[in-house]
Amino acid sequence: MKFIYQIGANLYFFAVTIFALWNPKAKLFIDGRKESIGKLKGFIPSENTYWFHCASLGEFEQARPLIEALKLKSDSSKIVVTFFSPSGYEIRKNYEFADLILYLPKDSKSNASLFLDSIQPSKIFFIKYEFWANYLLEANNRNIPTYLVSGVFRKKQIFFKWYGGFMRQILNSFTSIYLQDKGSKILLDSIRIKSIITGDTRFDRVMQNAEKVKDFPEIRKFIDGKKCMVVGSCWPEDENVIFSTLNKTDNLKVIVAPHEINESHIYLICSSLTKKVIKFSELSELTTSKDYDVLIIDNIGMLMHLYQYANIAYVGGAFGKGLHNILEPASFGVPVIFGDKYSKFPEAFQFINAEIGYSIKNNEEFELIFYNLLTMSDRSKVLTFMSSQKGATNQIMKDIFS
């Protein structure tokens, strides 16, 4: 099985190399890894060097509370962060609390040996669902403590198949596995893998962020005291479901922050809305912004701050590529609506069970839930739930250093 695993890893990187000939994201994936070895040569480890590996931006946000807790514990410690995906690396490549940020070199025995020789980590943290066998086995051979943080498991994964023995061996290489939910623990118990339910470290992160939120007076002027809905990280599939209801709703301000802010997508959004629309880049230039109904955010980085103005939030992705961050709006006490493809996101189940999150399949369901929330939303209920989920970071830190 190890041989098959290595062939699969090699074939994947070969395919991405070919794809990179015409795809910009794939080119970043390949070119970034060419730079990784050079970055390693210039790195000087400390006595306490902590390595965090994240697939992408969402997993980085789960790592971040631990990274900052470790830095607070010891200023002399060094943090190494690796990414698998350009969507994580390109956004966080200048993160202030990391001493080295790079793409994880291709998973091979030689790369794993070179990487660990170069950074000499005292502890290793893999976030959520990344399981690179050569790196984990090499760390295990060197007796380096290795932790899985905010882990999530599903029954269809290879670990739970009759042919998954090699990958179960990989799981056994972790010193400790910290899980988000009870369902994951039941699955790991079934294959005799020990684990601890600590919850999701992102709850700690978003609640911290909510205390540092930035105010935008021009947006307050746009809202003009009316009720407001924030549509975050939306795709055309989401817009096709919700815009018809928003078009016919009076006395409502709408802020749309699309996942893709390219010109063609923003044009599509504007042409789908019958309300008076203004882009954020135009907002400061006008003194009559309150006369507009819809504000389109045509930049990156504002979304988390926008939820403070919302009475209701819709978070996109769950009609296609995957549900985006529903914790951010909830950290401001805002109930959240999202699509129906959320099986890989434990927080969605939690939100639905707590009656602070609502899944919809079509416009009719959206309209019903939307109008109910418009008159009945309860911030205290949402905030009580969010506060109850905090503490994963402290629990993990206590377990590791006790």
Residues 172 and 87 in one domain: yes
Q: How far apart are CA 98 and CA 154, in angstroms?
A: 31
Is the residue at 398 inside a domain? no
Token representation of residue 235: 């795709």
CATH number of the domain that residue 379 is part of? 3.40.50.2000
Backbone angles phi, psi at 133, to 5 degrees: -60, -50
Q: Note whether 231 and 375 are same-domain residues.
A: yes
Q: What is the pLDDT of residues 260-276, one digit of tens each?
A: 989 999 999 999 999 99
CATH number of the structural domain spanning residue 110:
3.40.50.11720
Tell me the per-residue pLDDT of 130-167, one tens digit each, with 9 for 90 and over. 899 999 999 999 999 999 999 999 999 999 999 999 99
DSSP bridge partners of 132? none
Same domain, 142 and 66: yes
Return the closest-CA partner of residue 191 out of 216, 226, 166: 166
Cα–Cα distance for residue pair 186/205, rounded to 1 Å: 26
Q: What is the pLDDT of residue 101?
A: 96
Nearest Cα neighbor of 174 from 197, 152, 147, 156 is: 147
DSSP 156: T
81 and 153 share one domain: yes
DSSP string of 40-92?
Answer: HHT----SSEEEEEESSHHHHHHHHHHHHHHHHH-TT-EEEEEESSHHHHHHH
In 3D space, the residue among 43, 178, 26 whose CA is nearest the CA of residue 102 turns out to be: 43
Query: Do 179 and 226 fall into the same domain?
Result: no
Residues 107 and 179 in one domain: yes
Backbone dihedral angles phi then psi of residue 312, each to the nearest 5 degrees: -140, 145
> Are both 270 and 325 inside the same structural domain?
yes
Which is nearest to 311 in space by CA: 336, 292, 334? 334
What is the C-alpha to C-alpha distance for residues 328 and 315, in angstroms, rounded to an integer? 10
Is residue 220 domain-shared with residue 189, that is, in the same domain? no
| Domain match, 226 and 100 both | no
175 and 247 share a domain? no
> What is residue 139's predicted lDDT score, i.e. its pLDDT?
97
Number of structural domains the chain divides into: 2
Residue 18 lies in domain: 2-197
Residues 136, 266, single domain; the answer is no
Together in a domain, 52 and 112: yes
pLDDT mean by block of 10 residues, the chain; 402 residues = 74 76 80 84 91 93 94 89 91 93 92 95 94 95 96 94 92 96 95 96 94 92 94 96 95 95 92 93 73 92 95 96 94 97 93 97 96 87 95 96 86
pTM, rounded to two decimals: 0.87
67-116 pLDDT, tens digit per residue, is 999 998 887 899 999 999 988 888 899 999 999 999 999 899 999 999 99
